[in-house]
Chain A
Amino acid sequence: MSVVDTLREIRERVESELGSIDTSAALDALRVKVLGKKGELTALLKGMGQLAPEDRPKVGAQINEVRAWLTEKMDEAQERIHNAEQEAAMKAETIDVTEPRALPTVGSAHPITLVMNELIECFSGMGFDVMEGPEVELDHYNFELMNLPKNHPARDAQDTFYMDDNIVLRTHTSPMQARAMLTRPLPIRIICPGRVYRADEVDATHSPVFHQMEGLVIDEHVKMSDLRGTLEAFAKKLYGEGTTTRFRPSFFPFTEPSAEVDMTCVACHGKGCSICKGTGWIEVLGSGMVHPHVLEMCGIDSTKYAGFAFGIGLERIAMQRYGIRDMRLLYEGDARLFSQLR
């Protein structure tokens, strides 16, 4: 058989074998057998000495051409086999992705903390600074500086826990107004979140411990409309763009004029439902212009400065937001309930 014939034979044989090879091992064996140091093509090259010298370059070129062609085919086969093997391996590794597994446990802050933080974020964006103070408070700050002298009948409305004649559990976050006015430079723009206490028996809507957030602004030329602007911005942030506020005249000893502030009912968007008792409004907070007596008692010139204050109850907002119907659940610490928070 001539070299040329042998080459053709090798070429045809390898081509057909490659078609049926499906493992890397078989391919490697073929590669060694044909292209290896002791392979068939090497043998052919070695046998070139027996050829006529003038034929050698031509045959050599032919052998190299075949080698190049075979190498290319084997590389192609190798890629095909590698891919197929990878596919097969992955197929064997298939998992049931629908199989249920336990979630990593993620905790949560308390509903009150969640609401409080939301409110803080909203007001600190408007330049309000968070200030905190004692829960066991002097009567002086809790009542007297809030325009509620001893034996004032409005004191009765706030069933107060007394430690002694001069020390109470603060009945509202309002004493922080006095503390701020007495210690901070003007202008003042603060919020004071925290626990407050009233001697109410525990039931679905009352708790002797609850949370409020006081807001206070003192500056020159502060107006009642600034209060409304601030609270409207807060209402929109808390409950969405469509929310508005309604101011109703009210009475607090430490503000004049005073206003009870309602917000569009979240549940019915003002149409009237069971949550808002058909009015379309939900009572959210009490507010007003800081009483001139309060300013003067706290050493601020009431002819030059004015201010507004508001107090928001956090429990009501949290209960509405999370659909908690009984206030006691907030203070029971049942993990089955709180683990639903996200």
Chain B
Amino acid sequence: MKLAMNMLRQYVDIPVTPEEYSERMIMTGTAVEGIEDIAEGIEKVVVGRVLTCEDVEGTHLHQCTVDVGGEEPLHIVCGAPNVKAGALVPVALDGAKLPGGIKIKKGKLRGMVSEGMLCAATELKIPQELYPSVGDEGLLIFNEDYPVGSDIRPIVGIDDTAVDFEILANRPDCLCAMGIARETAAALNTEFKAPVITVKEAGGSFDDEVKVTVEAPDLCPRYAARVIKNVRIKESPLWLRKYLHGAGLRAINNIVDITNYVMIEYGHPMHAFDLSKVRGREIVVRRAHEGEMLTTLDGNEHALRTDDLVICDKERATGLAGVMGGEESEIVEGTTDVMFECASFDRTAIRLTSRAHGMRTEASGRFERGVACGTVMDALNRACQLVNELDAGDVVSGCFDFYPNPKPQKVITANVQRVQERAGVDIPAEDMVKIMRKLQFGCELEGDTLTVTVPSFREDMDGEADVCEECLRIYGYEHIGATNLRGETTQGGVSPMKALKDRIMRLLTGLGYLEIMNFSFTGVSEIKKLGLPEEDLRNQSMPIRNPLGEDTAVMRPTLVCDMMRTLAFNQNHSTETACLYEMAAVFDHHHPTEEGLPTETQTLCLGAYGPNVDFFTVRGALEAILRMCGITCEVEAGGDCYYHPGRKAKLVRGRDVFAVLGEVHPAVREKFDMPKRAVVAELNLQLLLTYAKPMGEMKPLPRFPAMQRDLALVMDEAVTVGPLMADMRKAAGKLLESIEMVDVYRAAQIGEGKKSVAFSLTFRAPDRTLTDEEVTKAMDKVLKTCSDKYSANIR
């Protein structure tokens, strides 16, 4: 919200520079977005009278002498078509500055000396609504008489600074000059001077002019109106125009300008009705009827909701209350009778109406944030006072004021010590009283108790904590010292899940994996790419009611889609090798929690590709994680359908599936635009955390030597080595310390569809040196099992 500083100065002294003012306001809680020179940098531009003006032959130029109040007139060359002797014009002197950083210097034009420049309105960036005669082509010629040599800035009303305030959501009372002035008085410790409002009434009676009825007091807690007769529509005086300009508003005519001025002064959006257009001279404030239609001022037609509050005349709705008026009753050149409306509407109702009809106006924005009931009459009477002052019409005696349930006066008691403790600053009690009074609260101190009477415009004030904030921010947040927390010592630490994630992070980063993060939502079409069977619940993931778009419409039930997309992205950006991981929640609303929320399962997703990356690289990383957690899993062929049917596996223990991994199915790769093979895995971190075992003690080193036996077995290709080794382990008995697969060999001499697998078995007893016979006996059992169960025989 922008306001001109000179407008504020009507109500409060500001004895500091705009920069100092802005800093002080920021530090007391009124944010300032920026300060701008309304003159846009204009300097040394004065009023001058053209004394002589001669055409320069063969050009469009004129050679002029101009009186700017100096001893000698200036010689100035001017190209404007409308320059003529006798005209009063703005003159940029030698060294003058114009908007946009332009500097004017004495110089020569076509050999003729020019000691300055005569300026056009566009060069000075003066808008027409601020200074009406600027609309002429070419040179700006003043219609009024001004002394030559005087600064043009006050003449056209730009000798001011506008401050752009950013008002906090809880302070709608600051959305006007009055509110800012109150804050300013407290921030700068100067005096707040409220306008003294007096209205000169011209007789007659409000009730004879118009009948007002409020049928929806719940949506319209206060509605006030006054009537002006014999309206004399004209231009507003310069002071009013320039304050509107400073606030970024356009001057239109005296009546409209008065309503806008009162809005920026008191924060009350007002509406002016041309009474001759109000059918039956009757105003009704009511809820819209089912199916009722309304065309607003902007020409749009709206189908109204029954919760919309409308302003009607005797026949029909003419405006959306607090949002936009109707076209018919607009103030025009010939308007003679006007009704001013000043009201307070329910902010939620206005918000919903404005939202439902997609209309946000200055008025609706203010009503949504809250317009106080208490100051309605002040604002209305202030408008009438301005009518008197501007001689814009005659104020009819009497008024309408519907306010059936006046808000009670709020009184807050606050304990000085508690306020001090909360603030952590020992603000003296007398200072608290001073501060509260500066902010226009009533405030009395008795013993340790402050009794604070809340003015009607401060609807945000509720209790002691609010009093604390008011005192502290004006006293100064810079007084808040830095103290250490006291009291009972607390044990800091991370949650078990966070600790697990950190350990996995260290392991994976050591293995060369980079962490990625993706959005938690995805698109249905993205999940479809996985080609899951129809009944798979991941196809029906949790939808967001108001998503940003289709590609972010559902909560992701798996991390693999985003992983595949990211792998493809990297492949398509010429990255030769990438090992990536993500740890995040996946969402399942088909199995809700006790609170009715979706189950969020923390999940690890791995994805890798590159010349030295294969299925076993990724399986190795998963097994390393499981080993780190003290969990032993079996590898079982199989897994989700988006993996290569011959290259996918599950890491299982009993009925628990800890992880599923595989090379991405070529068809799925095509859908994700992934040119190269890649391996992807998902691991359930929740399950891992449940079964993770602490490290415990280490095994002592062996005291007796081991015996090693090597073995090569020929078997069918179809035999899976994992289960075979499990059986070998069982058969070898407890003397077997370890068994390792050494290599797999395939060749013609071994036979079609066969492979030779070499193993190395280590035997050891904890209490003695083994004998050859013992080991041979164990090996015989191993061989028998291999032969009987797998037809795997020694090569």
Q: How far is the CB of A241 from chain B (nearest CB, A)?
A: 14
Flag if B481 contacts A256 (CB, 8 Å): no
Task: Please measure, in the bound complex, the distance between the C-alpha atom of A229 and the C-alpha atom of B483, giving whole angstroms.
Answer: 5
**Who on chain A is nearest to B501 by CB?**
A113
Q: Which residues of B (337-387) have their CB < 8 Å from a CB of A?
A: 347-348, 351-352, 368-370
Flag if B545 contacts A163 (CB, 8 Å): yes
Flag if A335 contacts B575 (CB, 8 Å): yes
Flag if B509 contacts A109 (CB, 8 Å): yes
Residues of A bordering B, CB below 8 Å:
104-110, 112-113, 117, 120, 123-132, 134-138, 151, 153-154, 156-157, 161-164, 166-167, 169, 187, 189, 195, 197, 199, 201, 208-209, 217, 219-230, 232, 246-251, 253, 256-259, 289, 291-293, 306, 330-336, 338-339, 341
Flag if A248 contacts B368 (CB, 8 Å): no
Flag if A107 contacts B490 (CB, 8 Å): no
Flag if A132 contacts B168 (CB, 8 Å): no
Q: How far is the CB of A206 from chain B (nearest CB, A)?
A: 11
A330 CB contacts on chain B under 8 angstroms: 517
B512 CB contacts on chain A under 8 angstroms: 104-107
B424 CB contacts on chain A under 8 angstroms: 223-228
25 residue pairs bridging A and B, Cβ less than 8 Å apart: A107-B515, A108-B515, A109-B515, A120-B498, A130-B493, A132-B497, A134-B593, A153-B369, A161-B546, A162-B546, A167-B597, A195-B584, A223-B423, A228-B481, A229-B485, A230-B485, A249-B469, A251-B170, A257-B472, A292-B464, A330-B517, A332-B569, A333-B518, A333-B570, A336-B570
Whether a CB of chain A sits under 8 angstroms from the CB of B502 is yes
Binds A, one of B5-13, B23-31, B532-540: B23-31
Flag if A247 contacts B477 (CB, 8 Å): yes
Task: Please measure, in the bound complex, the distance between the C-alpha atom of A166 and the C-alpha atom of B424, giving whole angstroms.
Answer: 38
Binds A, one of B131-139, B259-267, B547-555, B712-720: B547-555
Q: How far is the CB of B603 from chain A (nearest CB, A)?
A: 13
A157 CB contacts on chain B under 8 angstroms: 169
B168 CB contacts on chain A under 8 angstroms: 250-251
Flag if B509 contacts A108 (CB, 8 Å): yes
Ranked 7 nearest A-B pairs via Cβ: A225-B424, A249-B29, A105-B512, A223-B424, A257-B469, A333-B516, A124-B492
Task: Please measure, in the bound complex, the distance between the C-alpha atom of A120 and the C-alpha atom of B497, giving whole angstroms.
Answer: 14
Q: A132-B495, A228-B482, A334-B570 in contact; A219/B488 too (CB < 8 A)?
A: yes
Flag if B348 contacts A333 (CB, 8 Å): no
Flag if B545 contacts A228 (CB, 8 Å): no
Task: Please measure, in the bound complex, the distance between the C-alpha atom of A110 and the C-alpha atom of B545, giving whole angstroms.
Answer: 30
Flag if B473 contacts A249 (CB, 8 Å): yes
Flag if A106 contacts B510 (CB, 8 Å): yes
B645 CB contacts on chain A under 8 angstroms: none
A256 CB contacts on chain B under 8 angstroms: 465-466, 468-469
Q: How far is the CB of A55 from chain B (nearest CB, A)?
A: 61
Q: How far is the CB of A173 from chain B (nearest CB, A)?
A: 14
Task: Please measure, in the bound complex, the distance between the C-alpha atom of A124 and the C-alpha atom of B603, giving whole angstroms.
Answer: 25
Most buried by A among B352, B542, B578, B596: B578
Flag if B517 contacts A130 (CB, 8 Å): no
Interface string of B560-590 (1 = CB under 8 A from A): 0000001001100101011111001101010
Q: A225-B483, A229-B485, A249-B29 in contact; A199/B546 too (CB < 8 A)?
A: yes
Task: Please measure, in the bound complex, the distance between the C-alpha atom of A232 and the C-alpha atom of B480, giving whole angstroms.
Answer: 12
Band of interface residues on B: 35 or more
Q: Which one of B473, B493, B514, B577 lies within 8 Å of A108 (CB-CB)?
A: B514
Residues of B bordering A, CB below 8 Å:
26-29, 31, 168-171, 347-348, 351-352, 368-370, 421-425, 462-466, 468-469, 472-473, 477-478, 480-495, 497-498, 502, 505, 508-521, 542-548, 552, 555, 566, 569-570, 573, 575, 577-581, 584-585, 587, 589, 593, 595-598, 600
Flag if B487 contacts A333 (CB, 8 Å): no
Flag if B491 contacts A336 (CB, 8 Å): no
Q: How many A-B residue pairs have CB under 8 A?
A: 246
A166 CB contacts on chain B under 8 angstroms: 596
Q: Which one of A136, A224, A335 lies within 8 Å of B555 (CB-CB)?
A: A136
Task: Please measure, in the bound complex, the distance between the C-alpha atom of A104 and the C-alpha atom of B555, giving whole angstroms.
Answer: 37
A232 CB contacts on chain B under 8 angstroms: 482
Flag if B465 contacts A257 (CB, 8 Å): yes
Task: Please measure, in the bound complex, the distance between the C-alpha atom of A154 and the C-alpha atom of B351, giving whole angstroms.
Answer: 12
A125 CB contacts on chain B under 8 angstroms: 492
Flag if B548 contacts A127 (CB, 8 Å): no
Q: How far is the CB of B367 from chain A (nearest CB, A)?
A: 10
Flag if A136 contacts B422 (CB, 8 Å): no
Task: Please measure, in the bound complex, the distance between the C-alpha atom of A156 and the C-alpha atom of B169, giving whole angstroms.
Answer: 10
B370 CB contacts on chain A under 8 angstroms: 153
Flag if B515 contacts A163 (CB, 8 Å): no
Task: Please measure, in the bound complex, the distance between the C-alpha atom of A69 and the C-alpha atom of B596, giving whole angstroms.
Answer: 98
Task: Please measure, in the bound complex, the distance between the C-alpha atom of A230 and the C-alpha atom of B185, giving whole angstroms.
Answer: 33
Q: How far is the CB of A57 from chain B (nearest CB, A)?
A: 56
Flag if A334 contacts B573 (CB, 8 Å): yes
Q: A130-B494, A223-B421, A223-B423 in contact; A153/B169 too (CB < 8 A)?
A: yes
B569 CB contacts on chain A under 8 angstroms: 332-334
Flag if B573 contacts A336 (CB, 8 Å): yes
Flag if B468 contacts A229 (CB, 8 Å): no
A138 CB contacts on chain B under 8 angstroms: 595-597
Flag if B519 contacts A208 (CB, 8 Å): yes
Flag if A136 contacts B518 (CB, 8 Å): no
Flag if B487 contacts A250 (CB, 8 Å): no
Q: How far is the CB of A124 from chain B (nearest CB, A)?
A: 4
Task: Please measure, in the bound complex, the distance between the C-alpha atom of A333 and the C-alpha atom of B559, giving whole angstroms.
Answer: 13
Flag if B488 contacts A107 (CB, 8 Å): no
A258 CB contacts on chain B under 8 angstroms: 469
Q: Which one of A107, A123, A253 lies within 8 Å of B508 (CB-CB)?
A: A107
A224 CB contacts on chain B under 8 angstroms: 422-425, 472, 480
Flag if A257 contacts B520 (CB, 8 Å): no
Q: A107-B513, A247-B477 in contact; A226/B27 too (CB < 8 A)?
A: no
Flag if A257 contacts B544 (CB, 8 Å): no
Flag if A335 contacts B578 (CB, 8 Å): yes
Task: Please measure, in the bound complex, the distance between the C-alpha atom of A119 and the C-alpha atom of B26, giving whole angstroms.
Answer: 28
Task: Please measure, in the bound complex, the distance between the C-alpha atom of A113 and the C-alpha atom of B433, giving whole angstroms.
Answer: 48
B423 CB contacts on chain A under 8 angstroms: 223-225, 257
Flag if B580 contacts A333 (CB, 8 Å): yes
**Who on chain B is nearest to A303 by CB?**
B418
A221 CB contacts on chain B under 8 angstroms: 421, 486-487
Q: A249-B473, A259-B477 in contact; A131/B490 too (CB < 8 A)?
A: no
B27 CB contacts on chain A under 8 angstroms: 248-249
Known interface pairs A123-B492, A137-B597; 6 further A-B residue pairs with C-beta atoms within 8 A, sorted by A's residue number:
A117-B502, A129-B490, A135-B600, A164-B545, A167-B597, A217-B485
Q: A120-B498, A161-B546 in contact; A229/B515 too (CB < 8 A)?
A: no
Q: Which one of B468, B492, B597 lies within 8 Å of A126 (CB-CB)?
A: B492
Q: How far is the CB of B758 from chain A (nearest CB, A)?
A: 29
Flag if B498 contacts A106 (CB, 8 Å): no
Q: A201-B548, A232-B482 in contact; A250/B422 too (CB < 8 A)?
A: no
**Who on chain A is nearest to B575 by CB?**
A335
Flag if B552 contacts A248 (CB, 8 Å): no
A131 CB contacts on chain B under 8 angstroms: 495
Q: How far is the CB of B582 from chain A (nearest CB, A)?
A: 8
Q: Which one of A113, A136, A156, A222 lies within 8 Å of B515 (CB-CB)?
A: A113
Q: Which one of A197, A229, A248, A336 lies within 8 Å of B29 (CB-CB)?
A: A248
Flag if B487 contacts A162 (CB, 8 Å): no
Task: Please measure, in the bound complex, the distance between the C-alpha atom of A223 and the C-alpha atom of B484, giving whole angstroms.
Answer: 10
Flag if B483 contacts A338 (CB, 8 Å): no
Flag if B495 contacts A130 (CB, 8 Å): yes
Task: Please measure, in the bound complex, the distance between the C-alpha atom of A164 and the C-alpha atom of B542, giving whole angstroms.
Answer: 11
Q: A106-B510, A136-B600 in contact; A225/B369 too (CB < 8 A)?
A: no
Q: Which one of B473, B492, B548 lies within 8 Å of A199 (CB-CB)?
A: B548
Task: Please measure, in the bound complex, the distance between the C-alpha atom of A219 and the C-alpha atom of B486, giving whole angstroms.
Answer: 9
B29 CB contacts on chain A under 8 angstroms: 248-250
Task: Please measure, in the bound complex, the distance between the C-alpha atom of A339 and the C-alpha atom of B352, giving whole angstroms.
Answer: 49
Q: How far is the CB of A279 from chain B (nearest CB, A)?
A: 10
Flag if A333 contacts B520 (CB, 8 Å): no
Q: How far is the CB of A263 from chain B (nearest CB, A)?
A: 13
